[in-house]
Amino acid sequence: MYDIIIIGAGPAGLNAALYASRAGKKTLVLEKTFAGGQAATTYEVDNYIGVEKCDGAALAMKMASQATSFGAEIKYEDVLDINIEEKRIKTQKNEYKSKAIILSMGANPKKLGLENEDKLRGRGVSYCATCDGNFFKEKIACVVGGGDTALEDAIYLSALCKKVYLIHRRNSFRAVSLLINKVEENSKIECIFDSTVEKINGDNIMESIVVKNVKTNEETKIDTNALFVAIGTSPNTDIVKDKITLDENGYIITDENMKTSADGVFAAGDIRQKTLRQIITAASDGAVAANSAVTDIS
Ligand code: NAP
């Protein structure tokens, strides 16, 4: 029996674990893949106050070791089912029980929904520039999207690839101006505005894409072996979708104390409905969720 079980070891879950274990609660973190979540695949973090510049993987490792230094356990198990009322959590290996649950499973990259996208995933189509960029050294890479992730990816890839096309469906980016300035100053990045990716071509590996200008309907083929899709994320809430209240996009609705619609169940980080999804705001949510859970069960 645990006091608090946290599902997901991104910055939200790890900071929740730090706060819960530091408050003397028996704390377990269940994580499907690796600690750090999306932060661990960020090549450079420069907006986490107190950490001037750091690679995301290094920051994630520090977060995990700090959380466990106060006694929290991390187990790498995939959660299959959650009994919200009884606070029972079933993984592929075990069943656990706790007094409170914190949901911090984060969000996953969205797909374009094109034919061949799944078939060529890992064969040219990627959702993580820092994970796969190295495979395309001195090649031509394409990035789709106009948010912070897409611009960061394009900048990251420009250091490895001979050319990067940044394809965005509108004529202005939604990313922060700091990134827009960096992209504009980067001679290796060519922005293709008002355009969408219509086709991904290739059998065993991706060979080209077709891009359509949405204003003129003109289609252009780009010969490229790498397409990085950075068009936002969707929340990992499938496992709780009929059990707690979600918004129309599937994000968990919480109050300011991170309480969900179910008693003793809290949510933190990118998985919840909020306006700013950053490492720092995820960590902050984790602290608040842990504090609420500790108060709730004391
Ligand atoms: P995002 O801000 O939601 O941006 C998604 C982008 O993809 C938008 O430009 C959107 O176009 C485009 N898009 C969406 N669906 C599309 C589709 N089907 N086809 C083509 N384009 C599509 O996502 P994000 O960039 O991943 O960022 C997510 C959150 O993480 C944001 O809050 C962001 O600030 C944060 N983040 C922060 C940092 C940092 O602080 N260093 C780094 C990365 C991410 P429209 O603009 O036309 O809607």
How is residue 246 written in tokens?
A: 């979600």
- Specify burial of residue 128 (Cβ count, 10 A radius: 0-12, 13-18, 19+): middle
pTM of the full predicted structure? 0.84
pLDDT digits (tens, 9 = 90+) for 148-194: 999 999 999 999 999 999 999 999 999 999 999 999 999 999 999 99
What is the CA(150)–ligand 1 centre distance, in A? 7
CA distance linking residue 126 with residue 201, whole number of Å: 14
Adjacent-strand bridge partners of 166? 143, 191
Please check whether residue 211 is in contact with residue 217, taking contact to mean a CB–CB distance below 8 angstroms.
no
Please check whether residue 240 is in contact with residue 80, taking contact to mean a CB–CB distance below 8 angstroms.
no
Is residue 128 flagged as an active site residue?
Answer: yes
Query: Three-state SS for 240?
Result: helix
pLDDT digits (tens, 9 = 90+) for 19-35: 999 999 999 999 999 99
Cβ–ligand 1 distance for 152 under 6 Å, the answer yes
pLDDT digits (tens, 9 = 90+) for 249-276: 999 999 999 999 999 999 999 999 998 8
What is the CA(68)–ligand 1 centre distance, in A? 32
H/E stretch holding 88 reads strand 88-91
CA distance linking residue 111 with residue 230, whole number of Å: 9
Is residue 54 flagged as an active site residue?
Answer: no
pLDDT digits (tens, 9 = 90+) for 75-130: 999 999 999 999 999 999 999 999 999 999 999 999 999 999 999 998 999 999 98
